[in-house]
Amino acid sequence: MDDYTIVHLATHAAFVVGKPEDSFILFGNGDRVNFRNIAGHSPM
């Protein structure tokens, strides 16, 4: 993957306006990451 700078992930998500803690990305194994957690991560 050294030749690529973007990774495309096929997921499902739920967006709850004004509530990032209730908005999430759902992965195929059932794991969820809410938007509050994503906002706390810095880019690589």
In the predicted structure, residue 14 carries a pLDDT above the cut 90: yes
Q: How far apart are CA 7 and CA 22, in angstroms?
A: 25
Domain boundary assignment for the chain = 1-44
In the predicted structure, residue 4 carries a pLDDT above the cut 60: yes
Name the phi and psi angles at 26, rounded to 5.
-110, 125
Q: Are 13 and 23 in contact (CB under 8 A)?
A: yes
pLDDT at residue 38 in the model: 76
Name the phi and psi angles at 42, rounded to 5.
-95, 155
pTM above 0.85, yes or no: no
For range 36-42, the mean pLDDT: 71
When pLDDT is cut at 50, 70 and 90, the band that residue 1 belongs to is low
pLDDT at residue 2 in the model: 75
Mean pLDDT of the chain: 83
